[in-house]
């Protein structure tokens, strides 16, 4: 009987020790898991803010870049009446002011597109700032980029490791992707259809009621007056 009692007591102690040890380990693991989740969320949030700030800083610097400002002005001067540019004569030149201006503008878009692809810049922030400009300029420079790729292939025929199709591919991918996913218009109280004030109801003109004039009093004929014969 004593042996059975000691055995039962030992089982209770073992069960309590097992529950305490594993309970403590579970609690520590839970704390570690929560701490890791908070750390990951903090890093993700801070990195997202850093990307947004870096994007705004780069855009602000580009707006103050005198070389880029002059290049954009040169490109605007090359546009014809239809808004298109004849890139054939420009691309045939080895070095010219117009060719350098085109390269400066394209390289700025390539820099931003590559930064967004690698996660250095925030795409949503840049899209809200430059959606129309990126899509329009891609359509403008598309012919130039395709011709430049063909020229690059001809000028480097013996270098098998070069791939001309990768030239400005990040800019192309960004513009085509934005064309498929256009920037949505923000619904505000002013431009929302529900917010438009209802048209005032037209009131029918009320009939003009003229004052009634009293009838003039009729002379009374005496009842005892005899008619003449």
Over the chain, what HEC string results?
CHHHHHHHHHHHHHHHHHHHHHHHHHHHHHHHHHHHHHHHHHHHHHHHHHHHHHHHHHHHHHHHCHHHHHHHHHHHHHCCCCCCCCHHHHHHCCCCHHHHHHHHHHHHHHHHHHHHHCCCCCHHHHHHHHHHHHHHHHHHHHHHHHHHHHHHHHHCCCCCCCCHHHCCHHHHHHHHHHHHCCCCCCCCCCCCHHHCCCCCCCCCCCCCCCCCCCCCCCCCCCCCCCCCC
Three-state DSSP at 183 gives coil
For residue 109, which of 91, 98, 121 has the smallest C-alpha distance?
121
Confidence band, pLDDT 50/70/90 cuts, at residue 19: low
Taking 70 as the threshold, does the pLDDT of residue 14 lie above it?
no
Tens digits of residue pLDDT in 116-139: 999 889 999 999 999 999 999 999
Q: What is the pLDDT of residues 175-210, one digit of tens each?
A: 999 999 999 888 877 655 555 555 666 665 555 555
Across 92-96, 213-217, 223-227, least confident range: 223-227
Please report, in angstroms and rounded to a whole number, the separation of the first and last CA atoms in the chain. Answer: 161
Tell which residue, 112, 116, 105, 177, has the closest CA to residue 145.
105
């Amino acid at each position: 009987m004593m042996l059975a009692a000691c055995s039962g007591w030992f089982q209770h102690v073992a069960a309590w020790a097992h529950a305490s040890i594993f309970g403590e380990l579970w609690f520590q693991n839970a704390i570690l898991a929560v701490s890791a989740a908070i750390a990951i969320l903090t890093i993700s949030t801070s990195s997202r803010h850093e990307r947004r700030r870096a994007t705004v800083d780069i855009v602000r610097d580009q707006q103050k870049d005198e070389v880029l400002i002059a290049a954009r002005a040169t490109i605007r001067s090359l546009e014809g009446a239809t808004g298109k540019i004849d890139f054939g004569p420009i691309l045939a030149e080895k070095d010219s002011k117009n060719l350098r201006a085109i390269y400066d503008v394209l390289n700025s878009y390539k820099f931003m597109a590559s930064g967004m692809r690698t996660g250095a810049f925030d795409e949503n922030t840049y899209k809200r700032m430059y959606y129309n400009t990126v899509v329009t300029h891609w359509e403008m420079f598309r012919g130039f980029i395709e011709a430049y790729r063909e020229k690059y292939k001809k000028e480097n025929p013996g270098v098998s490791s070069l791939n001309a199709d990768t030239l400005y591919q990040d800019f192309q991918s960004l513009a085509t992707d934005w064309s498929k996913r256009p920037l949505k218009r923000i619904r505000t109280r002013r431009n929302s259809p529900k917010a438009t004030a209802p048209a005032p109801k037209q009131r029918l003109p009320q009939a003009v009621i003229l004052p009634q004039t009293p009838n003039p009093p009729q002379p009374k004929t005496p009842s005892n007056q005899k008619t003449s014969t």
